Amino acid sequence: MSSPSEQFINQLQSLQALRIKGIVNTSEGPKLIQGVGPRIDLSPPPSQFPKEMLGRLVAIR
């Protein structure tokens, strides 16, 4: 069974975006999302990020 992070990455990959970037709140806490083509990485966000950025995700197709 895949983890929630793996399921989220699979959903993002289904968009077939050229570039994905943003900060989202996951069941594991806030995550920085960076993707180029099929490669999508979730990592801890910067310690001081603008809180209005939380929940925003940009996908360029």
**pLDDT score at 1:** 64
Q: What pairs with residue 40 in β-bridges?
A: 35
**Per-residue b/e over 9-26, b at no fewer than 16 CB within 10 Å?**
beebeeeebeebebbbee
**Rg (the chain; Cα; Å):** 11
* Per-residue pLDDT, 10: 93
What pLDDT score does 5 carry? 85
pLDDT tens column, 4-52 = 888 989 999 999 999 999 999 988 899 999 999 999 999 999 999 888 9
Domain span at residue 23 reads 4-60
Tally of structural domains, the chain:
1
